[in-house]
A and B are shown apart, each in its own frame.
Chain A
Amino acid sequence: MILVGKKFELILFLIILGLIYYMIDRARRGIKTPKVRKLAALQALREVVGQAAEQHKPIHISTGIGGLHDEWAPMTIAAMAIFRKVAEYAGEFGVPLKYYCIRAHMIPAMEDLIQAGYTKGGRPEMYNSDMVEFVGDGQQRAYMAAVMGYISREKPAANIMLGAGFYETYIVLGSGAVAGCLQVAGTPRLYYQGTVVALSDYPVIGQELYAAAAAITENPPDLGSLAGQDYGIVICSILMIVTALLATVGATLWSQLLAW
Chain B
Amino acid sequence: MSVKEWFARRENQDRTIFVLYFILIAYPMLSPMGLPIPIGEPTIESYELLENVPEGGVIVIVSDEGFPSWAELGPGEIAVYRHAFKKVREDDCKIVLLTSYVVDGQILTERCLSNVDLTGLEYGKHWVQLGYIPGYEAVLSAMMDDLKGIAPIDQFGTPTKDIPMLEDINSIDDYDYLYACTFTAMDVYIRQWGEKALARGVPIIINMLSGTVPLAMPYYRAGTMTSYLNSVTAGSGYEKLIGRPGMGAALMDAQSTAHLLGIAVILFAQGAFMIKLLSKPKEVAA
Contact = CB atoms under 8 A, between A and B. Distances in A.
Interface in B163-185: 184-185
A191 B184 CA distance: 13
A166 interface: yes
Interface residues of B, number: 18
Interface in A24-73: 69-71
Interface in B66-88: 66-68
Given A178-B11, A191-B211, A70 B101 contact: no
A191 B101 CA distance: 22
A51 to B, nearest CB: 20
Interface residues of A, number: 12
A138 interface: yes
Given A178-B11, A178-B14, A71 B68 contact: no
Nearest to A164: B185
Contacts of B66: 140
Contact of B184 (A139, A141, A166, A178): A166
Contacts of B102: 138-139
A71 B66 CA distance: 20
Contacts of B187: 71
B14 A70 contact: no
A138 B105 CA distance: 13
A109 B102 CA distance: 23
B188 A70 contact: yes
A205 B11 CA distance: 27
A191 B14 contact: no
Interface in B92-111: 101-102
B137 A70 contact: yes
Interface in B182-219: 184-185, 187-188, 191, 211, 214-215
A138 B211 CA distance: 19
Contacts, number: 25
Contact of A141 (B10, B14, B68): B68
A152 B137 CA distance: 36
A71 B188 contact: yes
Contacts of A138: 101-102
Nearest to B135: A69
B112 to A, nearest CB: 21
B47 to A, nearest CB: 28
A70 B137 CA distance: 8
A72 to B, nearest CB: 8
Nearest to A174: B14
A139 B211 CA distance: 19
Nearest to A191: B211
Interface string A187-199: 0001100000000
A140 B191 CA distance: 23
B232 to A, nearest CB: 16
Contacts of A190: 214-215
Nearest to B191: A71
A191 B137 contact: no
B175 to A, nearest CB: 21
A248 B4 CA distance: 57
A172 to B, nearest CB: 16
A248 B214 CA distance: 25
B243 to A, nearest CB: 33
Contacts of A70: 136-137, 188
Interface in A129-180: 138-141, 166-167, 178
Nearest to A138: B102
B69 to A, nearest CB: 10
B214 A191 contact: yes
Contacts of B185: 71
7 contacts: A71-B187, A139-B102, A166-B184, A178-B10, A178-B11, A178-B14, A191-B215
